Structures are given as C-alpha cells and as structure tokens.
Amino acid sequence: MRRELSYGARALRNRSALKLVAWSVPEILPTAVYGIAVARATDNFLAGRAWPGIAWLGGLIAAACLGSAGAKQVYGRLGDLVEPLRDDLVRRVVGGALRTGDDSAVARLNRQVEIVRDTFAGLVLVIRSFAVTLFGVLTGLLSLAPVVAAVVVPPFLLGFALSLAVLGLAADRVRASLTADEELAASAGMVFGGVRDITASGTEEYAEQLVGEPIEAHAAAERALARVAALRTLCFAVGGWLPLLILLAIGPWLVGRGVSTGTLLGGLTYVLIGLQPALNTVLSALGDSGLRYVITLGRILDASAPAERARRLRDVNGYQVRMRGLTFAYGPNAEPVLDDLELTVAEGEHLAVVGPSGIGKSTLAGLVCGMLEPTRGRLLLGDVPPAELAADRLAATRVLIPQEAYVFSGSVLDNLRYLLPDSTVEQVGDAVAAIGAEALVTRLGGLEADVRPGELSAGERQLIALVRAYLSPAPLVVLDEATCFLDPEAERRAEEAFAGRGGTLIVIAHRISSALRARRILVLDGNKATVGTHAMLMRTSRRYRELHGHWSPTTTGQRRQIQPAS
C-alpha cells in the first residue's frame, strides 16, 4: 500500500496542488462561522434581540457565498492535477504492452487507468473537503469556546486515527477477497466446462473437492471482510457520535460554568453539521474509492513491472550500432520491410536515412531503439541487442523522437526535463537556447507555466520534444522526421545543436538539407540499401539522385512528401 500512496503523493507535488489548496482557503470561512453564527443568533433570540440574531444568520449566508466561489475554482484546478497522473499511467501501460506485445492487456489496463484517475480525483476532493471542515471547525470552536473544543476534538481525532488504522487491514481483506473470488471462478469454470466428462468417469467427488476448497476460502475471506466492516462502524461511532454524547452529557456542567445555551448549540452544530458528516464522507470515500484506488493502481504497477523485472539486466558496452544481415517483416508471412541490411554506425557519427515513403525508415528507427526485434540477423547497440537491455539502461543509451511529439499536461519545465528529471534549471535553459526554443518558452509564460498540449501547434510540440531529447543523458539520438513541422531554418538550428551535442545522431530526413548536413547517408530502396556521402551517392545511386531531384526545390520552402517514381 505504501507504493500506491507514495505514487499518489508524488502526483500531488506540483503547482496545481498548491493552487487547489489556495482556492480551498475561502471555504474555511463559512465552516468556521456557522457554529459561531448559530450561537450568537440563539443567544440574541433568547434575549429578545431579533434583529442582531437575524444579522448573524445573514452573515452566515454571506460567508457561504464566498466559500462557494472558492469551491468553483477548486473543480477547475482538479483536472490539472489528475490528468498528468493518468498520462503517466497510460505511458506505463502502453510501455509494458509494447514490451510484451499483449494488446488485450492494454484494453484491460486502460480501463483500470480510468478507475484510478476517477478514484484519485474523488479522493482528492473528499480529503480536501475534510481538511477544510476540520480547519474551519477548529477555528470556529476555539473562537467560540475553547472548553467545548477540548471536549469535542480529542474523541473525534481518536475515532479518525482508529479508522485509518483499520483501513490498512481492510485493504488486505479486500485484496484477499478478490483473489479468493478469482480462484473460485477459475476452479468452478474448469469443473462446469468438464461436467459431462466428470459424470461419464464418475469423478464427482474429486470435482466437489476441486471447487469445495475455493468456496470455503471465499466464504472465509468474505467473513473477514464483514468483521473489518463492523470494526469500521465502531471507529465511526467513536469519532462521530462520542463527541456529541460527551457534549450532551456535560452540557449542564458547562452551562453552570457560564457557557451560554447558544454556545452549547453552536458546539453541537459544529459536531452535527461539520465533523460528523465530514468523517462519514471521508471514511466511506477512503473505504470505497480509497481501496479501489490502492488495489487497482497496485495491479497496474504490478502489470507494468514484471516485464521490466523479467527483462535480462544486461549492460550496454558503448553505443556503436551494428546491423548484420538485419531482416524485419511485420508478420511471419509478410514480405520483409528490411532485408539483409549490413551497416555500422560508429559512436559520434551523424547519419541521415532517406528513402521513399513506406520503405521502412521508421521501422529501422524502431529496431535501432529496441522497440522492434529483428526477424532475422542481428542489430547490436554496443554489444547487446537493444530489445534485451533493461528498460532503464535502454533509456539511458538512446532516445527516439518520432514525428508526432508527445507533450503532457504539466509545467513547461516538467515537460522539458522528462528524460532527465534531475536536470537543473540552468541545464534546461541551455538546452532551450541550443535548440532555439526560447521564443516558445516565453510565449508559454516561462518554465513554470502550465502546458496545455491541445493548444500547441505540431511544430511547438516538436520543439519541446527536441529540447527534451537534447537534455536526455542518452548518447544515441534518433530523430524520426522529428523536425518535419519546423521551418528549414529552425530545423537547421535544432539539427546542428544535436550534431554539436556529442554522441551519435541518426536523422530520418525529410528534406535534402537535412541529409546534406550528415556525414553519411543511408538510402533505403526496396530491399536494397546503399550508404555513402552525398557526392558518392550522386554518382552511384539512381534512387538518391531521384530523391535529390524531387527534394531540391523545397530546400528553402515547405515540407514535401517523398514519392519518387518507382
């Protein structure tokens, strides 16, 4: 449970959470005021002063209006807080599925991601409202009569603490119940499926034994769950009802010590309208959404972790890329997209890859980056096939920026240092300057400003992804048409920044200017591949001359799709 709670706590460590807290402050006022208003109004009415009494009730309504204005803002901030959590979980789910190739797991886990997002949002709202009530009631009670606060607050906090302790137990019981449920379903399914064979072979007793044990285990798990539910009710009685009973019991004594009837009524109001419903709501939310959050998130984290753990933890030795007889087809009976490719890309080299649309350039990028595995032959990164590297080693060795850059809701800074979370603001600033993204960062409102991905143009998203890749520790950078939405000048600046960054740069080029900047160019042509310098290829490769002729008019103009005559 600690893992799931700290995951949620991490999601709360950002500026949106601070804004949410700030907008909650106005809501404390009406909570603090209503007990005082009831007390003063009652005392005034009892003393025959109707108008001051009405004025106190009027003040209560005004405070409630202020609180509701704050509440409206809170809902607005909630999305900014919850969506990054969802984005991160989707990334884990898809990443895990890419490694395992299990599509059905993606659908199932995506449903679970939605559950986690919704329960997390619900929990944030309920816990926030509980804190608001607690602060408000404490402030109100201390201003009204500290002696009443001393009577009411300790049993309330005791009940709350006991309830939290029981919740941990409840989580284990729910988990056990779910497991027992699944085991029962599996064994019952097996027996029902083979009922004719069981009858024919006269093995009813064995079948009974097969389902009997899971039925017993399931019943025991349900009984344990029921006991925990009873314990929760007891804890609620301590926190929610005991303060009320104590206050009523010592009411005459308090009145004898000068506490007014109105103050007593105000104290009861704080318990009945404030503490008791708040405790009830937070306990049912923690018991329901909280448990669903912990269990579902646990399943997602477990599902995305084994692939990671199971992956052989091989270390990479250097980052030279070697392709030997590299062949790849999308399916056992499909024509190979790449066939028998031989190429070595030395450390520190700048290679451009060109070829007609659909020839296999992105496929090659996927193979180099370990997202696809060769059908035949070998591709080594250092001396290890990239798909066999541990995820963290792979991420530290290569970075792939595709055409459609990924940007998530969160601050500009978080987006830029996504691949190197420990980078300093200075390092981020240097990367922004190197790539030429200063104007974009300024337009977005600086590094601390929030990014709304939907409001960025495709080129702006690419700039963010390029800065991110530039900052990453990976010595091998693969740009798969990652600058196609930038103008030629911006593309030049970004590519030159990568070339000067050190390490290897492989660019899937979509403009001749991009290819001309590389030291060597790989031309993919049907199943053939030729590699050389621009001058050499102009002499020896008909395909390259065609591409060059097709591209040349666009070197200073707009992006054009490469579709030479075959």
Tell me which residues touch ligand ATP (CB under 6 A): 330, 337, 355, 357-363
Q: How far is the CB of 88 from ligand ATP (least distance, A)?
A: 25
With tokens 């303060």, the residue in question is 243
Nearer to ligand ATP, 170 or 529 (CB): 529
Q: How far is the CB of 173 from ligand ATP (least distance, A)?
A: 44
Give the H or E element holding residue 134. Answer: helix 103-144
How far apart CA 281 and CA 287 sit, in angstroms, is: 10
Q: How far is the CB of 511 from ligand ATP (least distance, A)?
A: 13
Question: What angle, 0 to 180 degrees and rounded to 10, lies between the N-to-C axes of helices 261-269 and 242-249?
Answer: 170
Nearer to ligand ATP, 167 or 367 (CB): 367
Q: How far is the CB of 343 from ligand ATP (least distance, A)?
A: 16
Q: Which of 444, 478, 474 is nearest to 461 (CA)?
A: 444
How far apart CA 453 and CA 463 sit, in angstroms, is: 13
Q: How far is the CB of 349 from ligand ATP (least distance, A)?
A: 20
Cα dihedral sign, 373-374-378-379? negative
Nearer to ligand ATP, 144 or 337 (CB): 337
Contacts of the segment 495-501: beta carbons below 8 A, 24+ positions apart = 497/434, 497/435, 497/436, 497/470, 498/466, 498/469, 498/470, 499/350, 500/434, 501/434, 501/470, 501/477
How far apart CA 462 and CA 482 sit, in angstroms, is: 6
Nearer to ligand ATP, 364 or 471 (CB): 364
Q: How far is the CB of 361 from ligand ATP (least distance, A)?
A: 4
Nearer to ligand ATP, 119 or 483 (CB): 483
Nearer to ligand ATP, 39 or 338 (CB): 338
For 409, phi and psi rounded to 5 degrees? Answer: -65, 130
Q: How far is the CB of 450 from ligand ATP (least distance, A)?
A: 32
Nearer to ligand ATP, 31 or 541 (CB): 541
Q: How far is CA 371 from the centre of its chain?
A: 21
**Radius of gyration, CA atoms only, the chain:** 33
Q: How open is the CA angle 388-473-450, to the nearest 5 degrees? A: 110
Other residues' Cβ atoms within 10 Å of the Cβ of residue 51: 8
3-state secondary structure of 130: helix
Nearer to ligand ATP, 189 or 358 (CB): 358
Cα dihedral sign, 199-203-204-209? negative
Q: How far is the CB of 510 from ligand ATP (least distance, A)?
A: 7
DSSP code per residue over 491-553: HHHHHHHHHHHSSEEEEE-SSHHHHHTSSEEEEEETTEEEEE-HHHHHHH-HHHHHHHHHHGG
Nearer to ligand ATP, 170 or 359 (CB): 359
Q: How far is the CB of 401 from ligand ATP (least distance, A)?
A: 14
Q: How far is the CB of 386 from ligand ATP (least distance, A)?
A: 17
Nearer to ligand ATP, 358 or 502 (CB): 358
Q: How far, CA to CA in Å, does 255 sit from each of 53, 155, 249, 252, 264?
A: 21, 21, 11, 5, 8
* Alpha helices (H) along 369-454: 391-397, 412-416, 425-435, 438-444
